[in-house]
């Protein structure tokens, strides 16, 4: 009898016989919970796999502009953005146009980040709006003569030209066209 009880299949049969209907319900609840946990693990694994794939294709410039927009809505003084040369150049153009107070690099290699100190006047954000123009699926290129003023000249467009990133005013002055990255006003 002792050997019969040690075998898992026999234990389940014996527990069902000994416990009766309540025991069987308890076992069913445990099995249902085990299925629930297993499904959660499967979802988590799929999420992590998708995160690896999607994370590589994200528009990092849009993410930076959204971080700036969100930080200004809650009156945050500085934000930290993962480093890329293009994002750093965009931040420098914003600093030169006096839309942000200060831009700096921190860290080394993989841990390199951009620290952007936001600018406020009388408690209000200097930047009232940001808009990404050229996107992954639709690039927008303009000749210098087709570059329009942003908000009647109160805002800027950041243009990627053959001479680097510059504002729309500088591009018109130098008679250079290029890709319109974003607008800030």
Extents of the domains making up the chain: 2-56, 60-184
Assign 3-state DSSP to the chain and report helix, strand, coil percentages, each to 5: 50, 25, 25
Structure confidence by residue, pLDDT tens digits, 136-168: 889 999 999 999 999 999 999 999 999 999 999
d(CA 127, CA 133): 17
Q: Which neighbouring-strand residues pair with 105?
A: 114
* b (16+ CB within 10 A) / e for 19-49: eeeeeeeeeeeeeeeeeeeeeeeeeeeeeee
Structure tokens at 6: 């040690």
| pLDDT band with cut points at 50, 70 and 90 for residue 3 | low
Give the pLDDT score at 51: 73
Q: Which neighbouring-strand residues pair with 125?
A: 120
Q: Does domain 60-184 match CATH 1.20.1560.10?
A: no
Give the pLDDT score at 50: 77
| pLDDT band with cut points at 50, 70 and 90 for residue 172 | very high
In terms of phi and psi (left: phi > 0; alpha: psi -120 to 50; beta: otherwise), the region of 138 is beta
d(CA 56, CA 76): 28
Helix (H, G, I), strand (E, B) or coil at 9: helix
Structure confidence by residue, pLDDT tens digits, 5-56: 455 555 555 454 556 667 778 788 888 888 888 888 988 888 888 777 766 6
| The model's pTM | 0.69
Give the pLDDT score at 8: 52
Mean pLDDT of 63-87: 95
């Amino acid at each position: 009898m002792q050997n019969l009880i040690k075998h898992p299949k026999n234990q389940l049969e014996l527990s069902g016989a000994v416990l009766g209907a309540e025991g069987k319900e308890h076992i069913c609840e445990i099995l249902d919970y085990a299925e629930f946990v297993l499904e959660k693990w499967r979802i988590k694994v799929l999420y992590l796999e998708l995160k690896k794939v999607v994370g590589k294709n994200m528009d990092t410039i849009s993410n930076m502009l959204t971080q700036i927009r969100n930080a200004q809505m809650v009156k945050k003084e500085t934000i930290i953005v993962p480093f890329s040369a293009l994002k750093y150049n965009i931040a420098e153009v914003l600093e030169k146009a006096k839309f942000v107070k200060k831009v700096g690099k921190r860290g080394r290699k993989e841990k390199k980040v951009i620290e952007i100190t936001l600018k406020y006047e009388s408690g209000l954000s200097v930047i009232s709006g940001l808009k990404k123009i050229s996107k992954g699926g639709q690039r927008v290129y303009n000749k210098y003569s087709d570059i329009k003023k942003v908000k009647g000249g109160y805002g800027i467009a950041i243009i990627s030209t053959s001479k680097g990133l510059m504002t729309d005013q500088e591009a018109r002055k130098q008679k250079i066209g290029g890709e319109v990255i974003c607008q800030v006003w």
